[in-house]
Amino acid sequence: MQKNTKDQITYFIYNLRLHSTIRDKLEVSVTYTQIEVSTFSQFLTLPHSFYGHLVTDITCVQLWSDTATFGLHLRPADNITWGPSLIHPNDRSIMEIATSVYDKKGSAIINRCCIYLQLISMVDLLISNTQTIHPAYYEGVFAPSRHSDILWPPIPWPPKNYWQLWSHFLRYHISPFLQMNIIDWTVVHTM
């Protein structure tokens, strides 16, 4: 491992333990990156080569990239950093499917649409207690009466061609997945 990477890890961990403005900025950076990755797993534990193209290149992302180069993974202590929670036992993140279906360009487009619509999981897409995707989402429109407690970054409405890929993704990858893999959506718990 290069000395620079060791120094980055030391700096990162040291500052996360302090009560300072640097810690606050690092926590915001980590939370923002977690939102960009949009998975249930902490991004530092995911393969950077598979998910790194989805995120803005900031300090914690550079650390993630550098540690991945050496086969290292930083894992935060439980409940130390924010991460989305499963809403239902059969739930999955939308980006988990998108990255398995599309190349980096396609999955980045899907991710941009997810962030704009403030969606992370399959359950987020559905009309309450059904297996039906809310029709507004096909058009790239916020579903009425939906509200997220997450402080999402404001982004402009993605280009029209993004929504074409998004709609195709929902129709041909998400909808069939829901029909085949989600047996009972009626038992939904919240934390």
To the nearest 10 degrees (0 to 180), the angle between helices 59-69 and 3-17 is: 130
Q: How confident is the model at residue 181 (pLDDT cuts 50, 70, 90)?
A: low
To the nearest 10 degrees (0 to 180), the angle between helices 104-117 and 94-101 is: 160
pLDDT of residue 59: 73
To the nearest 10 degrees (0 to 180), the angle between helices 21-37 and 59-69 is: 70
pLDDT of residue 96: 92
pLDDT of residue 148: 80
Q: How confident is the model at residue 3 (pLDDT cuts 50, 70, 90)?
A: low
Among residues 8, 4, 173, which one has the least CA distance to residue 92? Answer: 173
pTM above 0.85, yes or no: no
Residue with tokens 């429109």: 141
Question: 72-103, pLDDT tens digit by residue?
Answer: 767 666 656 666 777 777 788 999 999 999 99
Percent of residues, the chain, with pLDDT higher than 70: 82
CA gap 34, 148 in Å, rounded: 16
Q: Looking at residues 169-188, what average pLDDT do you find?
A: 72
Q: How confident is the model at residue 180 (pLDDT cuts 50, 70, 90)?
A: low
